[in-house]
């Protein structure tokens, strides 16, 4: 098994546009109620709870054990070829079925780094689409995935640092049959 540790980008893009789906939608207040705009914090669950301030919703901060939204992918042979080109990974086990079998595999396999990218995608989605909020990412590959396999990354909040607000996520990628392809973690910065 290989351990992978990838430090995330530092800094944020200036004047970054709002991530899709995070825009604030005005809700008419109850007669006589004061209004306070509420926008969910990046990574916050969007569970709706009654508010005493006249707003319709209040974001619930992440708590240990809370599940994150799943990320799904089904990398095919073309995606593997393109990913290999971009990452300069030309190892034949990723595209040559005959060669992969000489290496003891059933056929071509998904690159370890692509598994990591899917975990990063899940952490980025948790951070409302901000890849710079992912401060650390690590994973271990457990089982191979093949072109066309449907993968799903799920996760839970492991911890929330009271001092910094950083959220640690436990992440897992599985095949449709339940086979665990990789397990990892990510540290996500709080909203600025």
| pLDDT at residue 166, as a whole number | 95
Determine if the pTM surpasses 0.85.
Answer: no
The tokens describing 137, both together, are 């990412």
| pLDDT at residue 138, as a whole number | 97
| pLDDT at residue 14, as a whole number | 34
The tokens describing 174, both together, are 């599985």
Is the residue at 161 inside a domain?
yes
Largest CA distance in the chain: 75
Residue of 91 and 169 predicted with greater confidence: 169
Residue of 29 and 14 predicted with greater confidence: 29
Is the residue at 54 inside a domain?
no
Instruction: Note the pLDDT tens digit of each residue in 30-75.
Output: 444 443 333 444 444 433 333 233 333 444 578 999 999 999 999 9
Is the residue at 33 inside a domain?
no
The range of the structural domain enclosing residue 83 comes to 63-188
| pLDDT at residue 192, as a whole number | 66
Q: In the predicted model, what is the mean pLDDT of residues 135-161? A: 96
Rounded to 5 degrees, φ, ψ at 66 are -65, 140
Number of domains in the chain: 1
Q: How far apart are CA 53 and CA 73, in angstroms?
A: 41
Q: How far apart are CA 180 and CA 123, in angstroms?
A: 18
Is the residue at 123 inside a domain?
yes
How many Cβ atoms sit within 10 Å of the Cβ of residue 75?
22
Number of helical (H) and strand (E) elements in the chain, helices listed first = 3, 6
Instruction: Quote the mean pLDDT of the chain.
Output: 77
Phi-psi region of 123 (alpha: psi -120 to 50; beta: other; left: phi over 0): alpha
Is the residue at 126 inside a domain?
yes
Is the residue at 75 inside a domain?
yes
Phi-psi region of 156 (alpha: psi -120 to 50; beta: other; left: phi over 0): beta
Does residue 127 have a pLDDT over 50? Answer: yes
Is the residue at 2 inside a domain?
no
Q: How far apart, in Å, are the Cα atoms of 91 and each of 96, 140, 174?
A: 9, 19, 23
The tokens describing 64, both together, are 């240990």
Is the residue at 44 inside a domain?
no
Where residue 99 sits, what CATH number does that domain have? 3.10.129.10
| pLDDT at residue 90, as a whole number | 87
- 45-55 burial by CB neighbour count: b if 16+ within 10 A, else e? beeeeeeeeeb
């Amino acid at each position: 098994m290989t351990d992978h540790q990838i430090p995330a980008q530092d800094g944020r893009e200036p004047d970054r546009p709002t991530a899709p789906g995070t825009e604030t939608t005005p809700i008419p207040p109850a007669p006589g109620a004061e209004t306070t705009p509420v926008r969910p914090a990046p990574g916050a669950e969007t569970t709706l709870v009654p508010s005493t301030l006249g707003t319709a919703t209040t974001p619930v901060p992440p708590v240990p054990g809370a599940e994150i939204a799943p990320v799904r992918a089904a990398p095919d042979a073309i995606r593997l070829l393109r990913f290999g080109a971009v990452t300069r990974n030309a190892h034949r086990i990723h595209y040559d079925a005959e060669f992969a079998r000489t290496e003891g595999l059933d056929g071509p396999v998904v690159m370890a780094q692509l598994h990591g990218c899917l975990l990063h995608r899940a952490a980025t989605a948790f951070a409302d689409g901000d890849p710079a909020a992912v401060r650390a990412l690590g994973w271990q590959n457990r089982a191979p995935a093949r072109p066309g396999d449907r993968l799903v990354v799920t996760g839970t909040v492991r911890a929330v640092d009271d001092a910094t607000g950083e959220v640690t996520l436990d992440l897992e990628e599985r095949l449709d049959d339940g086979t665990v392809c990789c397990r990892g973690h990510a540290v996500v910065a709080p909203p600025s």
